[in-house]
Amino acid sequence: MRAEFAIIGGTGVYEPGWLEGAKRVDVETPYGTAHVVVGRYKDKRIAFLPRHGVGHQLPPHRVNYRANIAALQKLGVTQVLATGAVGTLTTRCRPGSLVMVDGFIDFTKARAGTFFDGEGEVVHVDMSDPYCGRLRKALAATAETLGIELYPTGTYVCTEGPRFETPAEIRFFQAIGGTVVGMTSVPEVVLAKEAQMCYATVCMVTNWAAGLTPRPLTHEEVVAEMRRNVDRLRQLFFATLEGLTPDRGCRCQHSVAGQVKLGPRQEGP
């Protein structure tokens, strides 16, 4: 079973919706098994991957990001739209807002963040355009056509989780230019780039970050806000996918070209 396009659903986005003839596929990879739903929307075959597993089984720090991306690659996917629930670091983007991030700052600590960690492999993937500019333009144009308000840029601060951030951390993230804070974009975006995929993320702001409101934050609040707004995300994603073609014409498909270098050969005993 093959698909060229994919949606990665984060917190609150657990069902593919709108896919015809959807079938679940358990994809074996060198990093583990990923559970994917593959179906058709109009003239396109689309894979839907629930990032946290079926029924949201995995917290962000335990998601098998390598298996997820490797599974999509094995299915033939080259273009990925991802969702993510985030807290806002700015009063400009209030809860309920959609933010299309164009950069990230990585504060994760203990995640497997590359496919290239074997002996003799030295790869430094270019991240000057981490979230595919071509996909972002397509999403922005679709949002304008549909009348969906979408912030076109933003910096995603990615933390390790599973705990929420402290007010002191939030002040620091604001000071270094963060727009939203979440727990899943890294290493997913990096692995997609290493797999030479086009990848873009639209974040749903579900809450004010710690210290910006006197109320304590709960996961239930995050899920509830996503459910209230998931239809807008679904509409935006499927309308964007409808207009995409296999011809990419961007640098993503060559992101590791010429990057693999072999270290000194190790002689046996």
Binding residues for substrate, by number, are: 183, 207-209
* DSSP secondary structure letter of residue 261: B
> Which residue ranges make up the annotated binding site for phosphate?
11, 51-52, 184
How many other C-beta atoms are found inside a 10 Å radius of the C-beta of residue 1? 12
Angstrom CA distances, 190 to 4, 38, 47, 112, 224, stand at 19, 23, 20, 11, 29
Cα-based torsion angle of the residue sequence 222, 228, 231, 236 in order, rounded to the nearest 10 degrees: -60
* Cα separation, 4 vs 73, whole angstroms: 9
* DSSP secondary structure letter of residue 110: S
The label of the residue with tokens 């000057």 reads 128
Collect all residues with Cβ–Cβ distance below 8 Å to 91 and sequence separation of at least 6: none
Q: How many Cα atoms are found within 13 Å in the side-chain-facing hemisphere of 83? A: 34
Q: What angle do CA 7, 12, 17 make, to 5 degrees?
A: 50
Q: In 3D, which of 63, 51, 50 has the Cα closest to residue 22?
A: 50
Q: In 3D, which of 105, 119, 258, 263 has the Cα closest to residue 196?
A: 258
Facing residues of 79 across strands? 5, 198
Tokens representing 126 are 């270019």
> Which residue ranges make up the annotated binding site?
11, 51-52, 183-184, 207-209
Facing residues of 105 across strands? 157
